[in-house]
Amino acid sequence: MARIYILDESMSTRSRLIESLTKRNHRVEGFSTISNLEKAMNCEKPDLLILEVKLQDGDGFKLVERLKRNCYLPVIFLTSRSSSSDRIKGLKVGADDYVIKPFSLKELALRIEAILRRYHP
């Protein structure tokens, strides 16, 4: 069982992911802002972070770049930004995967499991 944090402004996206991943026995928390995520991370680091690139209070690319400098954290971008340059940038800043919306819950769950196996064998 992994602790997974989700950062996405869309309540429906957060709810779908929380429901799906909880059924797979993960502990999941959702956040709509970077500031709320950072407060939670001060208390407990997740085993995996899933986030959108475009956020009200900041840029997901910059957040991941900063987080990766300071901690060992697997990251998946789950975003509607689908250009090749965005995907490349996401991977360059340290994301382990880049999934474009709309997405398959089952496929995302398998990607999560693969990343967790690599980080937490």
Q: Identify the structural domains of the chain with CATH numbers, from first to last.
A: 3-119 (3.40.50.2300)
Average pLDDT, the chain: 96
Q: Is 101 left (phi over 0), alpha (psi -120 to 50) or beta?
A: beta
Q: Decide if pLDDT at 99 tops 80.
A: yes
pLDDT at residue 10 in the model: 97
| Model pTM above 0.95 | yes
On whether the CB atoms of residues 30 and 14 are closer than 8 A, the answer is yes
Cα 58 from Cα 113, distance rounded (Å): 28
Average pLDDT over residues 96-116: 97
Say how many C-beta atoms besides its own lie within 10 A of residue 69's C-beta: 8
pLDDT digits (tens, 9 = 90+) for 10-67: 999 999 999 999 999 999 999 999 999 999 999 999 999 999 999 999 999 999 999 9
pLDDT of 19: 98
